[in-house]
A = this chain, B = another copy of it.
């Protein structure tokens, strides 16, 4: 570069250099290592290299004057603009050539490694760095390069035009090569995985590379279709896990595998078919070619992980709960029976952490980033097993706790899944002991005018997990529940809602058909579940040597629906300022999506999982101690100063009704 050559400065990187007049901006950007995208390699086909000219030496403002320092719009560029549109002031860097000094801005959408914006303010950013990229190439026709094979000429073209050497094709892709070269008249687009392997060949210029992030839960399977180039979620799909017919909870599925020869295989087939079905659904709803789906990331708890892989889950059912592998896996989709994607699509499975702490938990950690913070985070993914993570950038601990299915409405007399007709919010007046509630599918509270009409045909079918949590917390705050969990029979004299049932009492929440009531057994089931959850968290706090946590994140479908206030009243989670308790929604799905879009996130997770301290609750004597003490409401272990600041909790003595609340947060939704 001579001193008189034009100077070009790229923003936001600030990279700069002098290049001879006539050098395309894309070439200059490449040489300077500027993060500027391109699929077509400079043929004005993809439009990925759009830039704006911020400043030319002789013309301070606007493209028209700055254009003096750039060569004019080319015919190819004009064709692109006519076909796909090009905003005023934008140029294609592959077409615009240096004619003088320039300041060029690379907008975020033209950067390969752009940041994705997420909705939750506290969530970590997703940096786009996809595991595969598309490269358009013109392959020399046969006979021109010393009679080499199609593959060798493609490899030569990728090396010559993109500097990619020693790329190997997936065997399935070898089969795509001949027809693609024929249909594309020697022009093809290659999808290249990790700069190592060719995983798809399409005729001509082709600008679609898609991925799917899958979270296999015991109950539901959620999947998100993403554009690997932009990171955009194109469609989401969710459905019940069909394995439910083999057992509601994880342990009953392990039992099924133990008791039925071939049972594990049946469950493997069921979950693979369900994942395939979701993929088909996603492609249809986003109207994309399923053959463009080239990358999958799958997470799930250890038993789902093993069953999906066709591994025996039974070792996970008994001590020492040994995983077949605790490292990430990279497979081909066909190897796990998924054939409705690109033929050479790859699958990455995040690693399981321990026998009871799955890849879903690893994904939650990836999404929430507790290891990136100084403050101590507690993350609870509530399901049939609660997976609990505690720590910060120094140390991370994880365990799982056998909460059982009560939180999901199972084992509860009027319980049901969170579905239309289920009571999900409950308030009880401490004076009258009368309840009001909301039902999924209806915007009104039960004491709002027009509630009956708004409810419509769905009616009231039962109570879901979050409804039970609120009902019990409200019963406790209203004095109906004693600290030991007993429904106070003596209140039957004050309200017909408290009703004798054999030798115990129940609280009638709704008198219609069916009648919805909370029985003493229901209370016991929730007590067991919440005690397990708290005991797990407490065990990790003991291990870490902390008495309080700086933030609590509730993850998972159920975790996202429960009200932190009620959860804390019941003593499910340790004390924490309420504004620092948040719901992360399907954080496992988000983590899977991050791993789909950012290759470094995969290595980050693998390294993280290796250093997580695994705590096995089943063999920890202190877990049992905590568990017993955590049965009380809130529990008999540690105080709740944060909660006491918001509401006056009933006294431990058990007899007197509580004092009226000082103030009460307004419930969300």
* A331-B149 in contact given A178-B324, A315-B178, A320-B143 (Cβ < 8 Å): no
Chain B residues within 8 Å of A335, by CB: 171-172
Task: Decide: A150 and B324 in contact? CB cutoff 8 A.
Answer: yes
So how many copies of this chain end up in the complex? 2
* A152-B320 in contact given A147-B614, A171-B335, A178-B315 (Cβ < 8 Å): no
Identify the closest chain B residue to A302 (Cβ): B149
* A179-B311 in contact given A151-B324, A174-B325, A320-B142 (Cβ < 8 Å): no
Q: Bits for A206-239, please: 1 = Cβ < 8 Å to B, else 0.
A: 0000000000000000000000000000000000
Q: How far is the CB of A141 from chain B (nearest CB, A)?
A: 9
A178 to B307, CA, bound (A): 13
Query: Would you call A323 an interface residue if the criterion is a C-beta within 8 Å of the partner chain's C-beta atoms?
Result: yes
Chain B residues within 8 Å of A506, by CB: none
Chain B residues within 8 Å of A249, by CB: none
Q: How far is the CB of A87 from chain B (nearest CB, A)?
A: 43
Chain B residues within 8 Å of A319, by CB: 143
Chain A positions 143-190 with a Cβ under 8 Å from a chain B Cβ: 143, 147-152, 171-172, 174-175, 177-179
Q: Bits for A593-616, please: 1 = Cβ < 8 Å to B, else 0.
A: 000000000000000000000101
A420 to B177, CA, bound (A): 45
A142 to B326, CA, bound (A): 12
Identify the closest chain B residue to A355 (Cβ): B147
Chain A positions 521-556 with a Cβ under 8 Å from a chain B Cβ: none
Chain B residues within 8 Å of A326, by CB: 148-149, 151-152
Identify the closest chain B residue to A141 (Cβ): B320
Task: Decide: B152 and A325 in contact? CB cutoff 8 A.
Answer: yes
Identify the closest chain B residue to A152 (Cβ): B326
Query: Would you call A40 an interface residue if the criterion is a C-beta within 8 Å of the partner chain's C-beta atoms?
Result: no
Query: Would you call A192 an interface residue if the criterion is a C-beta within 8 Å of the partner chain's C-beta atoms?
Result: no
Interface CB pairs A-B, < 8 A, 25: A142-B315, A142-B320, A142-B322, A147-B320, A147-B354, A147-B355, A147-B614, A147-B616, A148-B326, A149-B322, A149-B352, A150-B322, A150-B323, A152-B325, A152-B327, A172-B335, A174-B311, A174-B324, A175-B309, A175-B310, A177-B324, A178-B311, A178-B312, A178-B315, A179-B312
B-binding residues in A (CB < 8 A)? 142-143, 147-152, 171-172, 174-175, 177-179, 309-312, 315, 319-320, 322-327, 329, 331, 335-336, 352, 354-355, 614, 616
